[in-house]
Structure 1
Amino acid sequence: MNPPEAAPDFLAQLGWEDAEILPLAGDASFRRYFRAVGHDRTAILMDAPPPHEDPRPFIAIAEWLHTRGFGAPAILGSDLGAGLVLLEDFGDARMRETVDAAPESELRLYEAAVDILIRLRDHPAADVPAYDAGVLHREAALLTEWYCPAIGADVDASGYRAAWDAVFDRVVAATPVTVLRDYHAENIMLVEGGLGLLDFQDALAGHPAYDLVSLLQDARRDVHPDLEAALLDRYLRTTGVGEEFVTAYHILGAQRNAKIVGIFTRLWQRDGKPRYPGLCPRVWGYLNRDLEHPALAPVKSWFDANLPVERRGDPMALAGA
């Protein structure tokens, strides 16, 4: 993975002219990451190439979080035209690998991650678009747009929208918070003094349950139902919210997991990334549990009629069945 041509000049302008540029793992987008290594310091170079990516939302939310005491990386410099941003380096200690290597740390680190979301409730939402019913519908539709055709399922798309329409009112009326939208163990770093946050450029103003379900129904690692229940209870006890929040948690869990199944299918079919379909069975497991909540009865009825349990799984495997 070669750095962008403009990177050396960009780094030189910021006083990093002698830095070595080393590749880091990318993500599911067009963004790429590199580590700039100087004699006694390091930083992260984000390559967010226009027109595919726009680094301005990331910079804005990073600064919003940073000024409120949350662990977002400091912005060391940017060239918006080239799509380059130099960030504080949080190191390599991700929550995911730390917990997997030391299971005894799991509860402590997940509690710390939940506590960040509790603190976010204390701040009015950032100046970002609303996570409204239109966005929720558009995301949920990714399942019928990508997953269903991939497995050859002819489904009732209008009935799907109507089913979601019957439940979304329960989640759009709450006082909004800043929703980071991809808050899970692979986007949380262990840094001095706490946890560092990454991948929040798509933040919206929405229901506080969304990021909690993103953390506790993690598409990329198993979160045991007992741990999920304990951490949800911690959130409820600390904030004083009640059953309506639990209802929203499961509605947004079902919506998010349906969206992820669609996105992972799209990453395989459109973007040529075949590792993502294999993550779908875990996501379906979460979705099936969420659908058991009574508030989701209309949505569950649609799934039972259109995608019975045997058609919920790895789309690549089902497509070849």
Structure 2
Amino acid sequence: MKKWLRERVEGIDRVTKIRAEASTRAFYRLEFKNETRVAMVYPGPEPDAIERIQHFTHLYLNHGIPVPRIYAVLEDRALLQQDLGDQRLQTVFTRGRMAERRYRLSRVADILEKLARIPPEVTLATLDPDRMHWEMDFFIQHFASRLMGLADSRRLQARLVGLVETIDFAPGFAHRDFHCRNMMVHDGRIVLVDFQDSLRAPRAYDAVSFAWDAYMNLGKLRKLFLTDLEKRGLLPGMDQVYLTALQRNLKALGTFGFQVHSRGNKSYNRYVARTLRHVATNPLARDMLEDSLPKLTG
């Protein structure tokens, strides 16, 4: 692939592969004499995927939401993009002092406010009840079934049908994977990445994805963050917030189970305990999951 890139991009001094998790795409940093770029490369031609990324890049930038700029498309297989460096919000937030953390939370809320202004009609893709039911079945198959027997798994599956049916599906526009590992800190600003799967989703979806992030714990700052979002008019009632958060966390556990046991990607094990704590401390978890909850969370 390095040779492929050198043959199509002039003036490259050095090509370095960038580590990426849970993606079929590969990423490379291209070093030139006075600048760097990042090449995002698909295994083969993906014109629809490339077009989707171009579409959402323009959409986000037009709404004042920082995302990496696109400089070139290479044969419907790769994009040459702005290099944002290596600083994820996950690291900046975790290592920052309290004042720095509060500042970053406010900037995340600013981005959510801008996302809320995007009309959901700009995309046909929808996180609807059918898709959420599929995610809960995926969670049962790849995570819960490893912790409980068949009968218990079936009882939990029935309860998850009830969970999905209680979520209000009045849609808003959503990034879909709005968490700290998809936020880079570049020139002091938070820049979103991995936004190609943006869709219509329950109104609180992106907010709960960050408030109960599988990759970082807000701790006591979660209440401050949610209060800020409430004041901005970005949240539905708190019952809907907790229900959506519960579904999102269970969906994440299904993904982690699949990555660890089906893909052999053991690095996702480190995120399971935190996500289970999110589930265990969700105020509506016991009502929705009943006696399945202790079997999941220990």
Asked if Structure 1 and Structure 2 have the same fold, meaning a TM-score greater than 0.5 normalized by the shorter chain, the answer is yes
Unaligned runs of 5+ in 1: 314-321
Q: Contact 1:66/1:73 (CA < 8 Å) preserved in 2?
A: no
Choose which of 13, 30, 35 in structure 2 pairs with 1:36.
Answer: 30
Instruction: State the SS of the aligned residue for 2:252.
Output: helix
In structure 2, the partner of 1:188 is 183
Q: Contact 2:12/2:30 (CA < 8 Å) preserved in 1?
A: no
CA distance in 2, matches of 1:56, 1:153: 44
Choose which of 131, 144, 149 in structure 2 pairs with 1:148.
Answer: 144
Matched ranges for 1:110-125 at <5 A? 110-125=105-120
Give the TM-score normalised by the residue count of structure 1: 0.83
Q: Residues 61 and 6 (structure 1 numbering): CA distance in 2 closer, same or farther, change over 3 Å?
A: same
Q: Contact 1:214/1:253 (CA < 8 Å) preserved in 2?
A: yes
Question: Aligned partner of 2:28: which letter?
Answer: F
In structure 1, the partner of 2:97 is 103
Shift of 1:91: 1.9
In structure 2, the partner of 1:66 is 61
Shift of 1:128: 3.6
Q: Contact 1:94/1:186 (CA < 8 Å) preserved in 2?
A: yes
CA distance in 2, matches of 1:280, 1:46: 28
Matched ranges for 1:1-321 at <5 A? 3-12=1-10, 17-50=11-44, 54-79=49-74, 81=76, 83-104=77-98, 105-125=100-120, 126-151=122-147, 153-156=149-152, 159-174=155-170, 176-192=171-187, 194-224=189-219, 226-239=220-233, 241-243=235-237, 246-290=238-282, 292-293=283-284, 297=287, 299-301=288-290, 304=291, 307-312=292-297
Q: Residues 108 and 209 (structure 1 numbering): CA distance in 2 closer, same or farther, change over 3 Å?
A: same
Q: Contact 1:48/1:54 (CA < 8 Å) preserved in 2?
A: no
Q: Provide Cα deviations, 1:1-50, integer angstroms capped at 9, x if missing partner.
A: xx4542222323xxxx3342112121212222111111111111112224
Question: Aligned partner of 1:110: which letter?
Answer: L
Q: Contact 1:210/1:253 (CA < 8 Å) preserved in 2?
A: yes
Q: Contact 1:172/1:206 (CA < 8 Å) preserved in 2?
A: no
Over the matched positions of the two proteins, sequence identity in percent amounts to 20
Instruction: State the SS of the aligned residue for 1:49.
Output: coil
Question: Aligned partner of 1:178: which letter?
Answer: F
Matched residue count:
295
In structure 2, the partner of 1:318 is none
Q: Provide Cα deviations, 1:78-105, integer angstroms capped at 9, x if missing partner.
A: 2354x21111111223211112222331
Q: Contact 1:148/1:154 (CA < 8 Å) preserved in 2?
A: no
Q: Residues 93 and 139 (structure 1 numbering): CA distance in 2 closer, same or farther, change over 3 Å?
A: same
CA distance in 2, matches of 1:274, 1:41: 35
CA distance in 1, matches of 2:234, 2:65: 22
Q: Contact 1:61/1:201 (CA < 8 Å) preserved in 2?
A: yes
Instruction: State the SS of the aligned residue for 1:275.
Output: helix
In structure 2, the partner of 1:316 is none
CA distance in 2, matches of 1:149, 1:165: 16
Instruction: State the SS of the aligned residue for 1:190.
Output: strand
Q: Provide Cα deviations, 1:153-194, integer angstroms capped at 9, x if missing partner.
A: 3245554454333343443432x2221111112211223363
CA distance in 2, matches of 1:134, 1:74: 34
Q: Contact 1:95/1:185 (CA < 8 Å) preserved in 2?
A: yes
Q: Residues 135 and 310 (structure 1 numbering): CA distance in 2 closer, same or farther, change over 3 Å?
A: closer
Shift of 1:249: 1.5
